[in-house]
Structure 1
C-alpha cells in the first residue's frame, strides 16, 4: 500500500470556494488561503443562530498503545462514509503540532485512504494559527519581564512567575533556562523555560472561546505570576489583552479543508489531551453543526482523558449536547493491553485479547456515566482472526454495546458504510448527556470523582505543594472551575506501565495550576512533559523535498 503522503499527493481536491458555497457560505463568509484552504468568518454563527444543530458524534478511543488505534482515521472515514450513504456530514479535528510531526508521533490528518487534505500543509504551517498563538504567548512573556525590568510597578515576585515561553517544536534543551544574563540593560536574571505551543493556555483559551471579545476577556484573566504578598498578577494587569488579540485576529477563525473524498472538514486548534482538554475549538464544532446534519468531532488520547474533558469542560463551555460516541479500538492494541509482546501482535492469542479487552470495557462503562449512547468501531487488520473479532464483539455486547468493523484506512468511505449506518441508528436513540460532576463541588471532591469514577482509583493524595496550592486557589476565588487532569495517556492510573484496567492504586496530584483564562484548574499527576524531546531517530531525518516541491517522509 502507498504511504500516507503518496496517497494524499494523488488526491483530486476541489477548489475550496466550491466547497464553501455548497455549504451555504457566501463569499464574504470565507477567505481563501490558496486554492484548497479557507478561513471561515465567525459571522456565520450569528447568521445561522436560529438554524437547528446537526447531530454531534464524539470519536474517542481506548488508551493509546504502540500498536496504534486509528482514531483520527476513523473520524475522517466515518464522515466520508456518512456522505456515501446520503447524509450531509463534516469532520472537525485538531491541528497537528510541528513537534510530534518532526519527532515521533507523526502528523494528525488521518491515514491511508481516510485523510484530510492538503496533508502536507495541514501537518506543516497550515494557516499560521500556531505561529499566532506562539507570538501572542511570547508577547505576554516579554511584557511581563519588561515590567519587572522597568521598576516592577506591579510588585511581581520573580521567584513566583508561572508564565513560561513557548515554541512549536520538541526541544528538551529549552525546558529549563536562565534568562536576563549579560548587562544591566538585559533584564532581570531569573530561571524560566519553554513549553511546546500546544501546552500554552492561549491554545486552551482559543479552543473554548466564542469569539474575539470572549478571547480578550480570557486573556485578561490569565495569571502570569504572583506578587510578593502572593496576589495573582494577570495579563490584564500588564495591559496585554488587546495586543495579544491583535495577533490572534485570524487564528480565531476556523479553517475549512476537505477529505480525500471531498467531504468538508474543519480543523481548528490543537490542545494536547494529557496537559489540556484535547479537543478542537468549540467555534469549529458549533459552525459545523450549523452547516451539516452530522458532525464528527474527536477527543485526544483515550476516553479517560479526551472524552472526559469533552463532556466535563468543552460541552458546558460551548453549549454542546453530544448525540453519540464512537469508541475506536483494534484487536492488536487490546492484545498489547493484555500483555502480548508488540512483536507478536499478528499471532492469534485469545488469552491476551481476553485479558486486554478489559481496557475497552472500562471505557464503555465510564462513557455510560455521561448518558450518551455508544458503539465500538473496531479497526480491522489483515492479521485479525474471526475468533478474535467474535471475542471482542461478545464482550461488548454483554455491556449492551454494538461493535462494527471499520476498514476506512484501506478502503476510504466505502470501508465505513456499515459503521455509518450504525451511527445513524445510534443518533436516533435518546441522549441523556450530563457532566460527571457539579462544578460548584469542592475542588478536591471533583478530583476524587474523576479519579474514582473514571480511573477506578482508590482515592487521591495531594502532595504538599498541591495541598498548599488548593488553599490558595480557594482563597483567590477559583474553586468553582472545572478540573483538567494532566495524566499519562497510556494507563487509567498515573503509572504508564500499568495497562489494561488496573486496580488497587491511588492517584497523586503533585501540583495544581490555575488556567483562569481557559477556565479550568489543571491537576498535574505523574511526570507529564510540557516540552517533549526528540527520539533517538527523529522522524525529521527521513523527510525531504525535491526541486519540484514533492515532499517525502511526512506521515
Structure 2
C-alpha cells in the first residue's frame, strides 16, 4: 500500500484523548474538527528529555528523517514511555514538487495525513498574509509621499508564496502609471524562507512576536539608514494576522502518540526546525520529546545547536544520526543507488564519518539509525554496523516504515541507553566573534572546507551589516543540502574545496544573519515531472496520489 492508503485506512482517536493521555486539559484545545487542535495557554515547566534527529547528506529523495523521528516516538511508546514528537509543518512547495508529502511514511506517519500536507490549520496562509501585508504597506508608504525617505531601489523585503514558482523570483512591480504605485524591481520567496516564518518559529509569546516583527528590516533610506517594520506601524496588524497561528498544532502518530506539528522554516535557506513554542509545549507534557532538524548535520543540526538552542534555552540530551544504505551508495559514487553495491557503501561511509564528527564536536555521541529499505543487503548493513563499532557509537536498524513502533523498538532502546549518560551541548562559536570568523569556523570545521571566498556583492553586504551593528548575531548558512560543500555535484566527503559566499542578509527580527553560498535560491522551481501531476480527487471527494 502507498503511504496515503495506509493513512486513510488508519483509525484515528479523537484529539481530546490524545491530549488527555499526556495531561493536556480539554479546555486548552482549540479544535479543528475531531482530529486536530491548537493548544492554547502557556506550557507547564519542562519535564521532558529532548532527542534531536538529524542525518547524513541526503540523496534527492531524502533519507527518511521524519519517518524515523515518528517511528522512534512510536518505539518509545512500545516501551511504555510517555513520548511525543515535534515536527515542522509541510510546505506546499515540496508537497507538489519533488518529495511529495512530509508526514512520515509507511507505518510511521502523523495523521490526518491529507490535512497536514495541504491547508492544515491555516498557519502558512497566515504567515503568507502577514508577509505580504508588510510588503503592501512598504509600497503604499512610498506611493503616499514617502515620509520616511525609503529608497525604492534599496527595498530588500520581498513578497512570498507557499509554492514553487520560478517565474516569480524576479519581478517588476508598480507598472501601469502613477495610480499603480512606484515601479521597482522585486521578487517572491517561498513562504518558508521568509523572515516572518523564522520569527514565528522562534517567538514564544505574543509580545515577543510583535517586537520581533517590528525589528524586521525592510530596506534603507536615500541616506543609507535602515528602515524597520515598526516605523511603518505594521507589526501590530501583522501580529493580529498571526496570533492564532502562533499556537502549536496537536495531531497524532499512526499509533496514537501526540505529535506537535508547527511552523516550517527550511534548513537550506533558514534555520530548519519546528517552533520553539511547540517544542516547549511537548517538553512540558511528555517525558521524552523527539524533534528533527532539516537535512544533514551540516545544515539543520548545526543551526539547532548554535541558533535554536541559544534562542530557546533548551538543548538535546541525545542525538540520532539517520543513515541509509542507498545514501552511502550514492556518496560512494554509485550511478544507481537503488542497486546493492557494498564497495560504494564502503566509500560512502566517509560522508557519515564527517556528520558523526560534526555531532561529536558539539558534545554528543550520536546514535546511528540505519533507516531500512527493501534493497539493503546484509553485507551492506554489516558494513554500517562495523563503522559504528569502530567509532564507538550506538547503532540500530530502524524498520519503522514497514513495522511502525515495533520496527523502532531497537532504536528506542539505544536512545534510552544513550540518555543514561546524556551529552552536553558545546556551541561551535561565540556570537560575539567577528562575522567572517563565525562563517569560517562553520565552513572549515563542519563542512571540511579549506577556506571561504566572497563575491564583490557579499563583501559589500558584509560591510553594510558591520556598519549597521548586526554582525554579532548567530549565523544561518544557506547552501545546497546535496553536498557538504556548496556544490551539489560534490558527493561523499569532498576534500580541498573552498566555499563561496554570494550574499549576506541581516534578519534582525529573527535574530540571525543569513549567509548565502553558491547558487542556493529562496524560491524553488518545480521539477520536470512535479508530484502535483499524481494528485487527484475521486468522485466521492477522496484525495489520491498524495505520496
TM-score normalised to structure 2 length: 0.99
Q: How far is 1:66 from its partner?
A: 3.3
Q: How many residues align?
A: 547
Distance of 2:85 and 2:301 partners within structure 1:
16
2:384 aligned counterpart, secondary structure: helix
Q: How far is 1:396 from its partner?
A: 2.2
Which runs of structure 2 are paired with 1:54-73 in the superposition (5 Å)? 54-66=48-60, 68-73=62-67
Answer yes or no: is 1:44 the counterpart of 2:68: no
Answer yes or no: is 1:489 the counterpart of 2:453: no
1:376 aligned counterpart, secondary structure: strand
Q: Please list the CA deviations of residues 22-81 of structure 1 after superposition, one character each: whole Å capped at 9, or x if unmatched.
A: 22122331111100000011x232xx23xx431100010011103541110000000011
Q: Please list the CA deviations of residues 152-207 of structure 1 after superposition, one character each: whole Å capped at 9, or x if unmatched.
A: 11111111111111001111111111111113111001111111111110000110
Distance of 1:12 and 1:319 partners within structure 2:
37
Change (3 A) 1:251 1:354: same
Q: How far is 1:534 from its partner?
A: 1.2
Match in the other structure for 1:425: 417
Contact 1:96/1:270, CA 8 A, preserved across alignment: yes
Match in the other structure for 1:284: 278
Answer yes or no: is 1:8 the counterpart of 2:7: yes
Answer yes or no: is 1:518 the counterpart of 2:515: no
Q: Please list the CA deviations of residues 216-270 of structure 1 after superposition, one character each: whole Å capped at 9, or x if unmatched.
A: 1110110011111111111011100000000001110000000111111000000
- Structure 2 residue aligned with 1:190, among 169, 184, 187? 184
Which runs of structure 2 are paired with 1:329-478 in the superposition (5 Å)? 329-342=323-336, 345-347=338-340, 349-478=341-470
What is the Cα-based RMSD across aligned positions, in Å?
1.0
Match in the other structure for 1:229: 223
2:491 aligned counterpart, secondary structure: coil
Contact 1:393/1:402, CA 8 A, preserved across alignment: no
- Structure 1 residue aligned with 2:246, among 245, 252, 258? 252
Superposed structure 1 runs of 4+ greater than 4 Å apart:
none
Match in the other structure for 1:33: 32
Contact 1:29/1:44, CA 8 A, preserved across alignment: no
Match in the other structure for 1:114: 108
Match in the other structure for 1:537: 529
Contact 2:15/2:251, CA 8 A, preserved across alignment: yes
Contact 1:322/1:372, CA 8 A, preserved across alignment: no
Match in the other structure for 1:262: 256
Distance of 1:332 and 1:356 partners within structure 2:
10
Contact 2:365/2:423, CA 8 A, preserved across alignment: yes
Distance of 1:110 and 1:500 partners within structure 2:
26
Unaligned runs of at least 5 residues, structure 2: none
Contact 1:67/1:336, CA 8 A, preserved across alignment: no
- Structure 1 residue aligned with 2:82, among 71, 84, 88? 88
Distance of 1:66 and 1:457 partners within structure 2:
22
Q: How far is 1:372 from its partner?
A: 2.1
Contact 2:60/2:482, CA 8 A, preserved across alignment: no
1:237 aligned counterpart, secondary structure: helix
2:463 aligned counterpart, secondary structure: helix
